[in-house]
Structure 1
Amino acid sequence: MRTRGYLLIPQPQAELLIVRSLQEEGLNDDEIAAQLQWSENKVRRYLDEDYELPRTASFGRQPIGISTRIGKPAVKPLIADLKDNDPLVRSNAVQALGAIKDPRAVEPLIAVLNDKDPLIQRQAVKALGRINDLRALEPLIGVLEDREKKPHVRMSAAEALGRMGDSSAVEPLVAALNDQHWDVRGHAAEALGRIRDPSAVEPLIAALKDQDATVRGNAVDGLAQINDPRAIEALSAALTDKSKTVRKKAARALTVIAGEDFW
C-alpha cells in the first residue's frame, strides 16, 4: 500500500490520495474499506467522479504533482489559490491547473494573464494553451500583441496559439513575424506551421530572409508542415543559407513538399 508521505498532506487530500492509490492497485470499494477500516460510504465518496474537496483546501504550498494526481477535486481550491499573496502559491496553482486541464479553470487563468509577476503570466499562458479552450483565444492574441508584456510571455502566447490551431490566430501571428524580438518571431513562425493555414505561406517565405537563423529555421519547418508547392522555389534558395541547420531543414522540407531527395 503506497501511503508513505501522505501523512504530511492535510486531510482530506491525504485520504483521497490513499483511496485512489489503492484503487489503482486493483482493490474494489469493499477491499479498500476493509484495508483502511473505513465505512464503504466514506470510500465511495472519495471515488465519486463529482467529489470536490472543500474550497478551503489549499494546494499552492504542496508539490504540483500532488494536485495533479488528485485531479478534478483539486480544481476549486487551486482556483482560490490563484489569488494568494504568495507568488509561489499562485505559480504552483497555475501550473497544476494547466496539468489537470479542467475547463473550469479557463476564466480564472485568463485573469492571471494580468498577474503582476511576468513569470506567472507566462505560466498562465502555457496553462491555457494546454487546456486548449477557445475562450482563451482572444485573450492570448491580446497577450501576443501587447508590446508592454515581456518577450518571453509573448512568445509563449504564440506557442499557445499554435497549439490551439485556430485559423483566427493566423493574422496576429503573421504580424508577429515582424516583431523586434527574435524569439517572438521564431515562435510565431513555429505556430503558423502548426496551424497549417495556406494564407501563412507567403509570410513564412518572407521570414526565410530573417536575420536570425532560428527564425529562418522555424519558417522552413512551418512551410514543410503547410506543405504548399508555392514554397518550393524559396526553399530551394534556402539550401544555400549560411546556417547549416537551416540548409538541412530546407532539404527535408523540399523532400516533403516536392517528393524528391534533396540531400
Structure 2
Amino acid sequence: MSSDENKRINREKRGQITPEDLKPYSNFPDTYLIELLDDDYPKKRTISATLLGRRQIISAVIPLASALKYEKALYSRIAISKALSEIGEPSIDPLIDLLGEIGNNQETELPQKYFNKKSYPLVRDMAARTLVKIGKPATLPLIRILKDEDSFKVQQAIDAVGGIAAKTSDERGLKSLISILQSYWEGHDKVTSWKIVRALGGFRNCEDATGPLLMVIEYAREAEDDFPIVWESVRSLGQIGVENSQIMNLLLELSHHQNSEISKASKIAMKQFDN
C-alpha cells in the first residue's frame, strides 16, 4: 500500500469525506441524519453534521452540541462545529453552555514565549471558536457570561468576544472587557488578565482599547512574573494600530527592555505601524 493510500485511510478514520460521500445521504430525512451523529463510523458522523448544517436544521442544535462535546475524530469535530455555525443564532446558548467543557487545550497558565504571528490568535476552545464563526449575534450573550463566577468559562468567553471583534469589527464587548480587567488585575488573576489584554487586540483602530493596555504595561513592566502580560499588551497595541506619540515612545522604550520577548514584541509592533 502506498504512502498516499495510507494517509487517505487515516484521514477517513478521522472522519474526512468527499463530496461523493454525501450524495447517497442527500435525500435522507433530518431525523435519520440526527441519529447518524451517534454512528460508530466517523465518516458517517461527518456526513450527518455536514448535511444538517447545510439544511440549517434547528432541531439538530442540541444533538450537534452534545456531539461536539464528545467527538474525538478531527474531521467530524470540524464538521459539527461548522454545522452549528451555519445554523447560527439557535446554536448560541448551547455553545455558551459548552464553554470550557470541550477538550483540554485551553490555556491555563501564562505563555513562556511571545506569539509570533501577526494575525489574531486562533481561539483554542472549540465552543468559543464556533461562536466566533457565528459572529456578531453571539456578542451580547457572551457579554453576559463575562460576569459568571466560573473564571475558566469567562476566559473562553473573553477569547470569543475578542475573536468576534477581530473578525467583524463588533465593538460592543469593549466596555465589558475593560470593566472586568481592573477587577481581575486587582484580584491577581493573571491568566484572565492576560486573556483580556489579548482580546483587546481584536478591536482594530479603537483608541478606547489602548488606554487599559497602557495602564497594564505601566504597572507590570518591572515585575518579571507579569512579563507575558506586558508583551501581550504590546502585541495588542500593534494589532489595534492607533498611532500617537505616547504609544510610539513607549514602544521605542520597551524595544530596549531587558526581557527579550518584550523587546521583540515592541519591535514587531512598531513595524506594524509602518505597514
1:200 maps to which residue? 209
Where does residue 34 of structure 1 map in the other structure?
A: none
**1:186 and 2:194 correspond:** yes
Aligned to 1:142: 144
Which amino acid in 1 is paired with 2:97?
N
Q: Letter of the 1:137 partner, please give it.
A: T
Larger Cα Rg: Structure 1 or Structure 2?
1
Q: Does structure 2 conserve the Cα–Cα contact (< 8 Å) formed by 1:217 and 1:246?
A: yes
- Alpha-carbon distance between aligned partners in 1 of 2:154 and 2:40, rounded to the nearest angstrom: 29
Q: Distance in 1 between matches of 2:128 and 2:258?
A: 34
Question: Which sits farther off after the overlay, 67-76 or 240-249?
Answer: 67-76
Preserved contact between residue 85 and residue 130 of structure 2 (Cα < 8 Å):
no
CA displacement at 1:222 relative to structure 2: 1.0
SS class of match (1:223): helix
Q: Please report the RMSD computed on the Cα atoms of aligned residues, expressed in angstroms.
A: 4.3
* Equivalent pair of 1:55/1:80 in contact (CA under 8 Å): no
Aligned residue pairs total 226
Q: 1:119 maps to what in 2?
A: 101
Partner residue of 2:91 out of 76, 84, 108: 108
Kindly, what percent of the aligned residue pairs are identical? 16
Q: Deviations over 1:151-174 (max 9, x none)?
A: 3x3222222112211111111222
Q: What letter is aligned with 1:161?
A: V
Answer yes or no: is the 8 Å Cα contact 2:36–2:44 preserved in 1.
no
Change in Cα spacing, 1:207 to 1:68, as seen in structure 2 (3 Å) is: farther
Partner secondary structure for residue 211 of structure 2: helix
SS in 1 for 2:264: helix
Give the Å deviation of 1:58.
Answer: 3.6
Aligned pair partner of 2:232 in 218, 225, 231: 218
Residue in 1 aligned with 2:131? Answer: 128
Q: 1:4 to 1:120 in 2, by over 3 A?
A: closer
CA contact (8 A) 1:52 1:72 kept: no
Residue 251 (structure 1) shift: 1.7
Relative distance call for 1:83 and 1:132 in structure 2 (3 A) is closer
| Residue 101 (structure 1) shift | 5.2
Q: Is the 8 A contact 1:125 1:156 kept in 2?
A: yes
2 CA distance for matches of 1:136 and 1:198?
23
- Structure 1-normalised TM-score? 0.66
Q: CA 1:133 to 1:94, structure 2 compared with 1: closer, same or farther past 3 Å?
A: farther
Q: How far, CA to CA, are the matches of 2:18 and 2:243 in structure 1?
A: 57
